[in-house]
Structure 1
Amino acid sequence: MSSATDSLSPQRIAQHSHWPKRLPRELAIPQTSLWFNLDVAARRYPDKAATIFCGQAKRYAELHAEVEALAGWLQAQGVAAGDRVALYMQNCPQYLAAFYAINRANAVVVPVNPMNRAEEFGHYISDPATKAIICSADLAGIVEAANKALPESQQAKTVLVARYADALPPGGVPAELSLPEAMLQWLSADPAVPAGMTRWTDALAAGHAAGPHTARPDDLAMLPYTSGTTGLPKGCMHTNRTLMSNCCGGGQWGYASAESVGLAVVPMFHITGMLYGVLGPVFMGMTMVIMPRWDRELAGRLISRYKVTHWTCIPTMIIDLFGSPNYKSFDLSSLKYLSGGGAAMPQAVAERLQQEFGLTFAEGYGLTETAAPSHGNPPERAKLQCLGIPIFGVDSRIIDPVSLEEVAIGEVGEIVTHGPMVFKGYWQQPEATAAAFIEIEGKRFFRTGDLGRMDEEGYFFITDRLKRMINASGYKVWPSEVEMLLYKNPAVQEACIIAAKDAYRGETVKAIVVLRAEARGRTTAEDIMAWSKEHMAAYKVPKIVEFADSLPKSGSGKVMWRLLQEKESAAG
């Protein structure tokens, strides 16, 4: 009599071999919208803190009421089912309210990196045909500049502006939290709001009731953008269903429940911050302690004061925390689950975590296209510098990127993934969508573009990437996008962006620039970097600028970036 695994490949058999006995292989995904998760949490835990921000708690009932009022206001401005609404701010309680209000209004969230400048932000208005924008007051000027630069037919018609100060405690931030002075001033500021925009508090006071909630599981819910090897960023189409999968799974994987307290410091616009700071915690009814920006001393104090149990982060944050002269005075004993990704956790740091705090860092792996994790290390059996095993309902394979045939265990190939959290395709890019998927055994697999291998126990390891990309402290920098922005500099004739090794960030951005004749001898590396800071997000700004007389080119005239990258890698 044959077993159920007889027909499976060795790769598939290995993936089943060390699945945690405490977990189901697949999840029963709720057939509801993301808004319904907040509706349920607010009914179950009305007086429980949904968020804590600089000492100010917001109860689930309060968050629910705020969302209903905002959804009604958005609908009163003409936002209808399926319309796109951009969300452009740093981590704050209003971010959660805005996200769920957009979903409650049956519309689509377009999360935008708050580090983006006007030249970059315009794409997030024009490409998805954004109907409305919700932003923080300090970014309203960028929104106005980006909107005005577009033809009137492409401009967003409605802009709602929130102040971080409105979320602070009425009596001031508790002294024991000791917020850095620069952060306190930034959060307390009241920037002028450009004419024609509406203040958050005025929208709440307007008293508009929201109409019926009609969003279904397979309706588009979020359009996060990811860049690629060529061209401008592309929108990844995620439905309520694709996002719901990891909402449900995160808690089971990491021992979380309604009693858990999370630290939300990964930026919420980022798919990881979105899943672990906005979506998953509300599904479970957790309390989230929100950090607007990373500060190691503040992180240590918040974990200690609020007894944080769950922290999803970027490994560089752990490294930075350990670098604090005060880290031994922080009480980290409440932490039960520490996870993250974006960059490998150095073995020495992981060992210190284990020895000093008894904590295992459970690395995971995922992409914007997979709504954050498609793989994760079981915390009870984690491996270092490892992506983990495919999570609930995920089938991942290692294939030859040319022949598309499955390779043997231990051999390197491209990681391809099939699972309930995989996106539906790129927004209005049918050719890019077609190129991103292949069919294996009748199932649709997403081609990650990452090269990796799988060991005999079913754990995946990344070895390289097919895509041209720089990973700087977990932020993905796409060289072609930076090059396109640099070409707008009047001193630049040609530019090639490559990765340079960096002890702290892992990789950093290096620009090799050919100056125009009139700029030679007059333009410095510092000039290029200063210009870049004004025209692109901070993490994309070249940290190293090298001038060259010319760039190597192929017979067809294309810049041979790989040659320059190999030369840089050899020198490092």
Structure 2
Amino acid sequence: MDAGADAFAAGLHALTGRTGEVVALAMVLDPVFCQAFSGIARSGNVSALVNPLLPPERLAHVLRVSGARVAVVSPAMVPVLTAVRDRLGDLAHLVLTHREPDLDGEAAELPTVAELAAGAPAFTPPVEADGEEVACLQFTSGTTGAAKAVRLTHRNLTVNAAQTAHMHQVDESSVLFNHLPTLHLMHVTVAATVGATHVLWPAPDVAEAVIAADIARATHYYSLPMRLAKLAADPRLGELEAPALRAILSGGSALAPSAAGVLSQHFGVPVVQGYGLAETSPTTHLSDLDRPRPGSCGVLVPGAESRIVDPETGPRCRSTHGARSRCGDRSSCSATSGATCPTMSTRTAGSPPGTSATRTPQGTFSWSTGSRTSSSATTGWCHRRRSNGSCSGTVPSPTASSWTHRTS
């Protein structure tokens, strides 16, 4: 992968003739993503991560907002882009992730990542990048409006990868099995940080995925709540085994405790989930594998701070990794070794100085993960106060009924 990243970096430089460009990259579940992402960074350019499953209008919006001059896309995305060609902003070059035999017309003339890398001149990596320089643009999900671009620095990404590797107990002996429909950057960076093996499994069948994970001797199984719930209810579950597993890990939405309990009992490992935001690189909370709590999205990652916020009166208290915050009446709050309250993460170790969450008059919070982060990304945990101002004992999943997540 290291040599491939160098070669693709050289190919990009030959294609554009300069550095500092934004290169859109489809998050395809394929090793080519790892090569292309590393090559973009190595060439002195900035990647813009694009969900390949987006419909035409949203895809055009993401490419236009990012200001991408180059886009690395799957063959299936070419006709989608062709349909919105007049709304793609500065896009000048398309590069295919791979070539398919039935490509015709303009698509047949497009270079692939491998071809661009193979035809490039010898490449000398640039001077080591400043950790505070932007490494990639990651987009919000767009559930409350048009997707917004979040600028993440090299340091944002590397620190959060180390935090996640620590919490998930990933090391060089680990085998990460990835059963997601698209490739998320955090899984790439976590594996690369510790030198772990990363297995990509695109086939959707949940039982076949477990069989493949067992053959690969996977230690960490990453999937979606919907797929894990389907696996928990699958009649073939009783026939499946994966003795090398150390944990099953979920994210993206809440995982039902009942499904987690079934899988944990069957495989004999913790089945846990986490929480994060595009603005936080992305992880803020991850479950403790040694002390998992059903229905919880976990504790703060190491080096992070959070605070409990009343949208009317402002900050109530702070907590840090290793401490659990307890809500009392509305006038007091203390960090204790007791239960955990819902929080909003405001800063992670390695973030640029001055990172903060600033309260707006509407009771939401303007999120800043560095001076380059889009000012339009605002987010906050807003407390639906109970009559006595208290809160429940554990950090709930984002869908818990007593809390609401507001974005503006």
- TM-score range for the pair, normalised by the shorter chain length: 0.7 to 0.9
Q: 1:141 to 1:438 in 2, by over 3 A?
A: closer
Is 1:396 aligned to 2:331, yes or no?
A: no
Do the aligned residues in 2 keep the contact of 1:79 with 1:132 (CA within 8 Å)? no
By how many angstroms is 1:421 displaced?
Answer: 6.6
* Higher relative contact order, chain-length normalized (CA < 8 Å, sep 6+): 1
Task: For structure 1, list consecutive stretches of 5 or more residues without a partner in the other structure.
Answer: 1-62, 166-188, 426-433, 440-445, 470-572
CA–CA separation in structure 2 for the residues paired with 1:376 and 1:220: 25
Answering whether residue 209 of structure 2 is matched by residue 274 of structure 1, we say no
Which one of 156, 181, 184 corresponds to residue 242 of structure 1? Answer: 156
Aligned residue type for 1:352: V
Q: Which amino acid aligns with 1:449?
A: G
Change (3 A) 1:159 1:250: same
Question: CA separation of 1:131/1:113 partners in 2, compared to 1, >3 Å: closer, same or farther?
Answer: same
Task: Verify the 8 A CA contact 2:380 2:407 in the aligned structure 1.
Answer: no
Q: 1:418 aligns with which of 347, 372, 381?
A: 347
**Structure 2 runs not aligned, ≥5 long:** 318-324, 329-340, 356-363, 370-376
Which of 57, 66, 71 pairs up with 2:9?
Answer: 71
The list of structure 1 runs, each at least 4 consecutive aligned residues, that deviate by more than 4 angstroms after superposition, is 227-231, 411-414, 421-425, 452-459
Q: CA RMSD in A?
A: 3.2
How far the C-alpha of 1:161 sits from its partner, in A, is 0.8
Matches within 5 A, 1:469-484: none
Check 1:89–1:237 CA distance in 2 against 1; reply closer, same or farther (3 A cut).
closer
Asked if the contact 2:144/2:407 (under 8 Å) is kept, the reply is: no
Q: Which amino acid aligns with 1:102?
A: I
Contact 1:397 1:406 survives alignment (8 Å): yes
Partner amino acid, structure 2, of 1:192: D
1:474 aligns with none
CA contact (8 A) 2:171 2:196 kept: yes
Distance (whole Å) between structure 2 residues aligned to residue 438 and residue 73 of structure 1: 34
CA apart distance, 1:465: 2.1
Alignment-derived partner of residue 171 in structure 2: 257
Q: 1:413 to 1:379 in 2, by over 3 A?
A: closer
Q: What is the DSSP-based 3-state SS (H/G/I as helix, E as strand, rest coil) of the residue aligned with 2:228?
A: helix
Q: Equivalents in 1 of 2:94, 2:70: separation in Å?
A: 6
Q: Which position in structure 2 is the counterpart of 1:210?
A: 123
1:330 aligned residue: 240
Alpha-carbon distance change, 420 to 259 in structure 1, aligned in 2, over 3 angstroms: same
One-letter identity of the residue aligned with 1:320? K
Mapping for residues 90-101 of structure 1, pairs under 5 Å: 90-101=28-39
1:353 aligns to 2:266 (yes or no): no
Q: 2:257 & 2:50 partners in 1: Cα distance? A: 33
AA matched with 1:202: E
Out of 238-247 and 338-347, give the one that drifted further. Answer: 338-347
Separation in 2, partners of 1:119, 1:314: 26
Secondary structure in structure 2 of the residue aligned to 1:198: coil
* 2:96 matched residue in structure 1: 161
Q: Is the 8 A contact 2:22 2:68 kept in 1?
A: yes
Letter of the 1:198 partner, please give it.
Answer: P
Which residue number in structure 1 is paired with residue 216 of structure 2?
A: 306
* 1:449 corresponds to: 380
3-state DSSP of counterpart to 2:326? coil
The structure carrying a bigger helix percent of its residues is 1
Percent of pairs with identical residues: 24
Deviations 1:187-246 (A, max 9, x none): xx6433625522333213213223432322111001011155765211001000001112
Task: Name the structure 2 match of 1:495.
Answer: none
For the residues of structure 1 that align with 2:58 and 2:139, how far apart are their CA atoms?
12
Matched AA of 2:11: W
Decide which of 76, 80, 83 is 2:18's aligned counterpart.
80
Q: What is the distance in 1 between the residues matched to 2:104 and 2:302? A: 47
Structure 2 letter corresponding to 1:450: W
Counterpart secondary structure, 1:405: strand
Correspondence for 1:221: 135
Aligned to 1:292: 202
Alpha carbons 2:4, 2:35 under 8 Å: kept: yes
The C-alpha deviation readout for 1:110-153, integer Å capped at 9, x for no partner, is 1111111222211222212111010111212223333x2137xx
Tell which deviates more after alignment, 356-365 or 90-99: 356-365
SS in 1 for 2:293: coil
Contact 1:219 1:240 in 2 (8 A): yes
- The equivalences for 1:548-559 within 5 A come to none
TM-score by structure 1 length?
A: 0.58
* Structure 2 contact 261–271 (Cα < 8 Å) conserved: no
Q: 1:283 Cα deviation (Å)?
A: 1.4
Task: Write the distance in 2 (CA, Å) between the matches of 1:352 and 1:229.
Answer: 30
1:372 deviation in Å?
Answer: 2.2
- Whole-angstrom CA distance in 2 between matches of 1:418 and 1:410: 21
Equivalences for residues 71-150 of structure 1 within 5 A? 71-78=9-16, 80-146=18-84, 148-150=85-87
Aligned partners of 1:421 and 1:275: how far apart in 2?
Answer: 16
Instruction: Please point out which of 406, 409, 427 is paired with 2:326.
Output: 409
* SS across alignment from 1:127: helix
The residue that corresponds to 1:509 in the other structure is none
> Structure 1, residues 486-519: CA drift from partner, whole Å, max 9, x if none?
xxxxxxxxxxxxxxxxxxxxxxxxxxxxxxxxxx
For the residues of structure 1 that align with 2:218 and 2:102, how far apart are their CA atoms? 31
Question: Per-residue displacement from partner, 1:446-486 (whole Å, max 9, x unpaired)?
Answer: 964234699999852354324269xxxxxxxxxxxxxxxxx
Partners of 2:267 and 2:153 in 1: CA distance: 39
CA–CA separation in structure 1 for the residues paired with 2:126 and 2:349: 24
Following TM superposition, by how much is the alpha carbon of 1:417 offset from its aligned partner in structure 2, in angstroms? 2.3
2:275 alignment counterpart = 365
Secondary structure, counterpart of 2:11 in structure 1: helix
Does residue 366 of structure 2 align to residue 436 of structure 1? yes
Tell me, in whole angstroms, the C-alpha distance in 1 between the residues paired with 2:264 and 2:290: 13
Q: Distance in 1 between matches of 2:154 and 2:226?
A: 31
The answer to whether the 8 Å contact 1:105/1:211 transfers is no
Distance between the aligned counterparts of 1:455 and 1:422, measured in 2? 31
Indicate yes or no: 2:104 matched with 1:192.
yes
Q: 1:345, 1:105 → 2: CA distance? A: 39
CA distance in 2, matches of 1:129, 1:261: 36
- Alpha-carbon separation, structure 1, partners of 2:44 and 2:150: 18
Tell me, in whole angstroms, the C-alpha distance in 1 between the residues paired with 2:118 and 2:105: 17
- What SS is found at the alignment partner of 1:402? coil
2:302 maps to a residue whose letter is F
Query: Aligned-pair distance for 1:101?
Result: 0.8
Q: How many residues align?
A: 364
Q: Which amino acid aligns with 2:104?
A: A
In terms of Rg, which structure is larger?
1
